[in-house]
């Protein structure tokens, strides 16, 4: 009933008698922040991540419904880990006022910038780049071209501007989101470009089969290297014997 109402009200399409147009869209990110499994703490002391923010739980393909189990188990571990971390602190962490001022200045820059780029135009362009070059079926040259376009898009993100009103200004929120989106987009594109096989949701037209010998035990890991992104491949840890028994 809700879908019928949406199509009728927004597009004047009666889906009981007319065709409805559908298409693929991004639904879930299986990568994310690398965390320690028992506490969900990242390599940054005091930074914890769980759920869709954290990576590695579902491997190359998430089965329907498993995200809820992920949230229940690792959400609790993250909360407990964060609580234990705080309890173990001997002193309260100090805050550098200059860092706060710099963060505020960066956050408010789009409000003060005149003649900048519309963040919604940049967001649409990023969407088109990822859909075209790093979509459902991927190929080396297409992804390489997409990475070049993402690099160029960074310059546009640095020049976005919005109205100066801070009250209910979703465009301002998007300005901040774009800086995070471009990191995720580049990490996905570079990881997919380097993995010369098909596995789970990652499908390569030029490498249609899984290559367990070369890639079956490797994870892709992206980190900041100055102004660039560094991509490494790390060996998966060996599965504990008690867990391995469940799969044998």
The pTM of the whole model exceeds 0.85: yes
Both structure tokens of 122: 């940049």
Q: How many structural domains comprise the chain? A: 2
Residue 135 burial (CB count, 10 A): 14
Shared-domain flag, residues 105 and 69: no
Give the separation between CA 209 and CA 225, rounded to whole angstroms.
32
Give bridge partners of residue 224 from the DSSP assignment.
229
Shared-domain flag, residues 163 and 65: no
> What is the per-residue pLDDT across 50-63, written as a single tens digit (0 to 9) for each?
988 998 788 888 88
Shared-domain flag, residues 66 and 114: no
Domain around 32: 1-89
Shared-domain flag, residues 117 and 235: yes
Whether 138 and 202 have beta carbons less than 8 Å apart is answered as yes
The mean pLDDT value for 167-176 works out to 96
> What is the per-residue pLDDT across 109-151, written as a single tens digit (0 to 9) for each?
999 999 999 999 999 999 999 999 999 999 999 999 999 999 9
The β-bridge relationship of strands 218-225 and 228-235 is: antiparallel
φ, ψ dihedrals at 193, nearest 5°: -65, -35
């Amino acid at each position: 009933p809700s879908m019928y109402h949406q199509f009728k009200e927004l597009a004047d399409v009666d889906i009981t008698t007319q065709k409805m147009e559908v298409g693929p869209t991004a639904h879930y990110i299986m990568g994310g922040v690398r965390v320690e499994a028992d506490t969900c703490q990242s390599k940054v002391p005091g930074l914890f991540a769980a759920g869709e923010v954290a990576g590695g739980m579902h491997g190359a393909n998430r089965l329907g419904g498993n995200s809820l189990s992920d949230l229940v188990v690792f959400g609790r571990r993250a909360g407990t880990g964060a609580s234990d971390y705080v309890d173990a602190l001997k002193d309260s962490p100090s805050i550098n006022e200059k860092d706060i001022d710099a963060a505020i200045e960066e956050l408010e820059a789009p409000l003060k910038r005149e003649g900048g780029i519309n963040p919604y135009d940049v967001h649409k362009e990023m969407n088109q780049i990822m859909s075209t070059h790093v979509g459902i079926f991927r190929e080396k040259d297409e992804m390489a071209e997409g990475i070049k376009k993402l690099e160029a898009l960074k310059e546009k993100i640095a020049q976005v501007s919005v109205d100066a009103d801070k009250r209910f200004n979703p465009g301002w929120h998007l300005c901040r989101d774009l800086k995070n989106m471009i990191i995720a987009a580049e990490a996905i594109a570079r990881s997919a470009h380097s993995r010369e096989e098909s596995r789970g949701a990652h499908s390569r037209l030029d490498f249609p089969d899984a290559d367990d010998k070369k890639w079956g035990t490797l994870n892709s890991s992206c980190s900041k290297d100055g102004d660039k992104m560094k991509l490494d491949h790390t060996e998966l840890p060996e599965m504990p014997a008690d867990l391995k028994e469940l799969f044998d």
